[in-house]
Amino acid sequence: MNFESYNPENFYDEFFEKSGQPRAKVKKLIDRINSFPDKELGNRQKAAEAAFMQMGITFGVYGDQSGLEKIFPFDIIPRIIKAYDWDLIDRGVKQRVFALNKFIHDVYNDQKIIKDGVISKEIILSSLAYRKECQGLNPPKGIWCHISGIDLIRDEKGQFYVLEDNLRCPSGVSYVLGNRRVMKQTLPAVFEALPIRPVDDYSNRLTDTLRNLIPESIIKPNIAILTPGIYNSAYFEHSFLAQQIGEELVEGRDLVVMDDFVYMRTTKGFEKLDAIYRRIDDDFLDPTVFNPDSLLGVPGLMKAYRAGNVALANAPGTGIADDKAIYSFVPEIIKYYTGEDSIIPNVPTFLCEDKKDRQHVIDNIASFVIKTTHGSGGYGMLIGPFSSKDQQQQMIENIKKDPRNYVGQPVIQLSRVPVIVKDHFEGRHIDLRPFVLYGKEIYVLPGGLTRVALEKGSLVVNSSQGGGSKDTWVLADDSN
């Protein structure tokens, strides 16, 4: 298998400028792969898949009687990011998370940004992710979004854009670490050929980020990751992270609140908990405050949080900043809180709430992507060019019924990379989710999750919609 017959077509291909002409930073990688004996690459791909299976990095059909399990599809051809590009991503993502954190704090406290007329009160209060219960909250050190993931894409010219912000419980970082581990054992020789920045530092950084939330006076704090349990599709990640940081993995039923302190039920009685990295949504966190039917959460947790007796990462209410209607204001938000222009631009976004924008979206629906403002995971999305007239009509009706809930964006032809398809390479569209930790400082893990739309021509990379992943190699320098 080699790249001789690979055709990048009319897309921005991250490996090839045009057919037979690899980009400078990728040439070494391509030469190594081209030098493999026939079938070698296919065998390594199989070995990598077997490694994931044995590590139990599987999802979905757990509990299925047949015992069938699937791995999250993985392609062993890495995605490479130049040091120059990473520098831009690093600065851009830090700037964004800094400003969004300021924004969340402001929304739940003084609301200066509303008073100064930058963003309307209505658009904030009408968001499904706005939590009135968080009004007046003052989390430790003013940090709300400790752990976030910013989805980036590149267009047909290679320009980076922010597609989405994930400030609630973004998942995927365990795949970044797992993919890397598997790649090191699968293609060590290829790995050696390039100066690749390591990703192993993440768990230390995560520990620091969580420790930063706890008063120094507590010498031996207890920290835990709160999971919905083993049937959750991201359970692997929860247990993996708990193992990596060496802290407890708890479920709601392991915790209890007494006199506004949170305790774990242990074999030796109750033990106080100081910080929780919660991997369940706001709605399920505390049935006495949010969704009363939640069995996953901990009754009384919010009261303990308000009393300052336990820290939560992320703070409740952060979803307001990743609402897709609010997203369209992020450039103004950045300007307002930092005085700077956005380093990485937004994708142009039309709010269906706005009459003029709405008409524009409806008139051009066949060339637009329509998203719900609170959705994630690619659910409830319409991709104009790939939809039927009926689907478009249905979407127009949905928009008219509930305009606040929809935004439209012009379709962007995402950049592509080669993936292994049977016995040859084909180009597939990708995105990138760098992971960001906000502790004493803001840290961006040099790597991130590259998601691949495995179906030919598809622009949807979400794992719930048939997406896979690749290891992401950030180069330490571009001088090679």
If the CB atoms of residues 241 and 321 are measured against other proteins, the closer one turns out to be: 241
Cβ of residue 267: shortest distance to other proteins, in angstroms? Answer: 5
Cβ of residue 299: shortest distance to other proteins, in angstroms? Answer: 6
If the CB atoms of residues 169 and 255 are measured against other proteins, the closer one turns out to be: 255
The gap from C-alpha 321 to its chain's centroid, in whole angstroms, comes to 14
If the CB atoms of residues 264 and 381 are measured against other proteins, the closer one turns out to be: 264
Q: Number of helices (H) and strands (E), helices first, in the chain?
A: 15, 24
If the CB atoms of residues 24 and 68 are measured against other proteins, the closer one turns out to be: 68
Cβ of residue 48: shortest distance to other proteins, in angstroms? Answer: 15
The 3-state DSSP class for residue 418 equals strand
Cβ of residue 239: shortest distance to other proteins, in angstroms? Answer: 4
Query: Nearest-CA neighbor of 240 among 279, 191, 275, 291?
Result: 279
Cβ of residue 429: shortest distance to other proteins, in angstroms? Answer: 32
**Strand residue runs (E) in 378-444:** 382-383, 406-410, 416-421, 424-433, 435-438, 442-444
Length of the chain in residues, anyone? 480
What sign for the dihedral angle of Cα 397, 402, 407, 413?
negative
Query: Nearest-CA neighbor of 449 among 41, 25, 79, 16?
Result: 79
CA–CA separation, 415 and 8 (whole Å): 10
If the CB atoms of residues 268 and 389 are measured against other proteins, the closer one turns out to be: 268
If the CB atoms of residues 250 and 289 are measured against other proteins, the closer one turns out to be: 250
CA–CA separation, 27 and 301 (whole Å): 54
Which two structure tokens, joined as six digits, stand for 19?
Answer: 């057919």
Cβ of residue 57: shortest distance to other proteins, in angstroms? Answer: 10
Contact yes or no for 282/290 (Cβ under 8 A): yes
The torsion defined by the Cα of 75, 81, 87 and 89, in degrees rounded to 10, comes to -50
Cβ of residue 165: shortest distance to other proteins, in angstroms? Answer: 28
CA–CA separation, 298 and 252 (whole Å): 5
If the CB atoms of residues 302 and 474 are measured against other proteins, the closer one turns out to be: 302
Cβ of residue 56: shortest distance to other proteins, in angstroms? Answer: 5
CA–CA separation, 279 and 235 (whole Å): 9
**Binding-site ranges for other proteins (CB under 8 A):** 53-56, 65, 67, 225, 229-230, 235, 239-243, 247-251, 253-254, 256-260, 264-270, 299-300, 303
If the CB atoms of residues 251 and 471 are measured against other proteins, the closer one turns out to be: 251
CA–CA separation, 349 and 189 (whole Å): 44
If the CB atoms of residues 229 and 410 are measured against other proteins, the closer one turns out to be: 229
Q: Is 187 exposed, middle or buried (0-12, 13-18, 19+ CB in 10 A)?
A: buried
If the CB atoms of residues 210 and 454 are measured against other proteins, the closer one turns out to be: 210
Cβ of residue 258: shortest distance to other proteins, in angstroms? Answer: 4
Which two structure tokens, joined as six digits, stand for 196?
Answer: 């690749």
> Does residue 314 have a cis peptide bond before it, meaning omega lies within 30 degrees of 0?
yes
The 3-state DSSP class for residue 415 equals coil
Cβ of residue 264: shortest distance to other proteins, in angstroms? Answer: 6
Cβ of residue 346: shortest distance to other proteins, in angstroms? Answer: 38
If the CB atoms of residues 151 and 286 are measured against other proteins, the closer one turns out to be: 286
Which two structure tokens, joined as six digits, stand for 285?
Answer: 């966190």
CA–CA separation, 163 and 327 (whole Å): 9
Query: Nearest-CA neighbor of 167 among 308, 289, 281, 303?
Result: 281
